A and B are shown apart, each in its own frame.
Chain A
Amino acid sequence: MGALAHLLDFAGWDRARVESLLETARMMEEVLERPMKKVPALKGFTVATVFFEPSTRTKISFELAARRMSADVVGFSGAGSSLAKGESFKDTLLTLQAMALDAYVIRAPVAGMAHQAARWLKGAVVNAGDGRRAHPTQALLDAYTLLEELESLEGKKIAIVGDVAHSRVARSNAELLPLLGAEVWAAGPVGLLPERLPGARLTTDLDEALSGADAVMVLRLQRERMDEGALPSLREYVAEYQVTRQRLDRAKPGAPLLHPGPMNRDVELEGALADGPRSRVERQVRAGEAVRMAVLYHLLVGRAA
């Protein structure tokens, strides 16, 4: 078991631990810049990606990260599997455990699943997103991208915009970024704001959140929210909360623009901005791979010094 037992959320984390992990990620990114992008570090370890909820990019990112480190990878997807035949989460996990795996990357529609799994399983558990609760590797790759842009997050204002209430990305960033000294603002329509978001200031005033921001993170708007009555109409959301060039002028000049993907172009974000010079969306994808390599290294190799 490595220096970290599990990565479930950022409870109990301090700045030193975050910085050490991001430093390892920077070293891992050098591996990704090589013509031959593979190192033998995790040879002999087996990593399972256990996805009880569909996801393409996160799963691919984790699997690539594990393979770049020479780990063996097995994948499990909820749809079309034994889950569909009525097997419980727990039985599925225990079956996988019988195969003596070293790490389990778990995506689940229900908050707390990864925490449960960590109690059931002997190996290391990585939370790859559980309901609305947490998506820690996404927040780590966001922090990595932001640090590359801003050098330090000390006293920096980071605006998170959109469907904050349903976003595990917002929740994990609000936990993580303040550990690095950032001031996090979260803005959205009242129906899409949670009652509270530890680590962030909440506002329905988009301009207030964007004003003087050092970076802007735009969240995906899920259209199902309309049906749930959380939003009156898509048109109204676009008019009031879409991040446009004009609105982005309130942020610091050149403030980078992040989006966790997948993106609804011209809904939460003006399409031209998504492809523009301030967009760091592609950078985030690359950072994600490096961060996940670092997470696996910290989980599987040795213990804390």
Chain B
Amino acid sequence: MRFKAKVLEPAEIERALRRMAHEIIEKNKGAGDLALVGIHTRGIPLAERLAALIERFEGVRPPVGVLDITLYRDDLSEIGVQPKVRETRIPWDVTGRPVVLVDDVLFTGRTARAALDALVDLGRPKRVYLAVLVDRGHRELPIRADFVGKNLPTSKSEVVKVKLRETDGEEGVELWER
């Protein structure tokens, strides 16, 4: 793969997340009842960071859960390499509360579809939002994000690499050519 461009610097990620936290609070009319669910892998630290920012702005820290969508993928009957099943841990009742699903990149929409199915199997949220750091387009399903850090037009042969210090030891969003 060939490196093409740096899309977001660490300070820009921080700024985008701060804006997203404000937008979440505004749309939800406060942080009351709100809960965040990070989708494996990089949605988890992003959800934690958003929760910390919401706490800073509103004085209330929304609970954060962890969601693995492996058992909800739509390609398990034809997949090549077996995906590892990872932890799902949502230690609070999703029923009746607004829930923000958090992921790093929105691409085909298939992960978001699986996450929605997984989430509603756990209870009946009052409503579900989708927050992503990068929306790179090329949707294959009728899915859109409510909160977006950066809209990034890409070609299908390009690869968006999100690196976060919690999962990758470094920070930044990069565009690569396959």
For B79, what are the chain A residues with a Cβ–Cβ distance below 8 Å?
301-302
Interchain nearest-CB distance for B134 vs A (Å)? 26
For A31, what are the chain B residues with a Cβ–Cβ distance below 8 Å?
71
Contact for A39 among B72, B77, B84, B86, CB less than 8 A: B72
Bound-complex Cα distance A34 to B71 (A): 14
Q: Which one, A22-30, A115-123, A133-141, A196-204, is touching chain B?
A: A22-30
For A156, what are the chain B residues with a Cβ–Cβ distance below 8 Å?
none
Answer yes or no: B89 CB below 8 A from chain A CBs: yes
* Complex contact B121–A39 (CB within 8 A): yes
* Complex contact A41–B82 (CB within 8 A): no
Taking CB atoms and an 8 Å cut-off, the chain A residues in 3-31 that contact chain B are: 3, 20, 24, 27-28, 30-31
Contact for B82 among A27, A45, A304, CB less than 8 A: A304
Would you give the 0/1 interface string for B99-119, flagging 1 where the beta carbon is closer than 8 Å to chain A? 000000000000000000110
For chain A, what secondary structure do more than half of its interface residues adopt (helix, strand, loop), or is it mixed?
loop
Answer yes or no: A99 CB below 8 A from chain B CBs: no
* Complex contact A3–B82 (CB within 8 A): yes
Answer yes or no: B76 CB below 8 A from chain A CBs: yes
For B77, what are the chain A residues with a Cβ–Cβ distance below 8 Å?
43-45, 301
For B81, what are the chain A residues with a Cβ–Cβ distance below 8 Å?
302-305
Taking CB atoms and an 8 Å cut-off, the chain B residues in 40-87 that contact chain A are: 68, 70-73, 76-77, 79-87
Count how many chain B residues have C-beta atoms less than 8 Å from C-beta atoms of the other chain: 23
Answer yes or no: A36 CB below 8 A from chain B CBs: yes
Bound-complex Cα distance A43 to B71 (A): 10
For A2, what are the chain B residues with a Cβ–Cβ distance below 8 Å?
82
Bound-complex Cα distance A20 to B82 (A): 12
Count how many chain A residues have C-beta atoms less than 8 Å from C-beta atoms of the other chain: 27
27 A–B contacts, CB within 8 A, in A order: A3-B82, A24-B84, A27-B85, A27-B87, A30-B88, A30-B89, A31-B71, A34-B121, A34-B122, A36-B121, A39-B72, A39-B118, A39-B121, A40-B71, A40-B72, A40-B117, A41-B76, A43-B77, A45-B77, A69-B71, A301-B82, A301-B83, A302-B81, A302-B82, A302-B83, A305-B81, A305-B84
Residues of B that sit less than 8 Å from A by CB: 68, 70-73, 76-77, 79-89, 117-118, 121-123
Q: A27-B87, A27-B88 are in contact. List 20 more A-B contacts (CB 8 A).
A: A2-B82, A20-B84, A24-B85, A30-B89, A35-B123, A39-B71, A39-B72, A41-B73, A41-B76, A43-B77, A45-B77, A297-B85, A301-B76, A301-B77, A301-B82, A301-B83, A302-B80, A302-B82, A304-B82, A305-B84
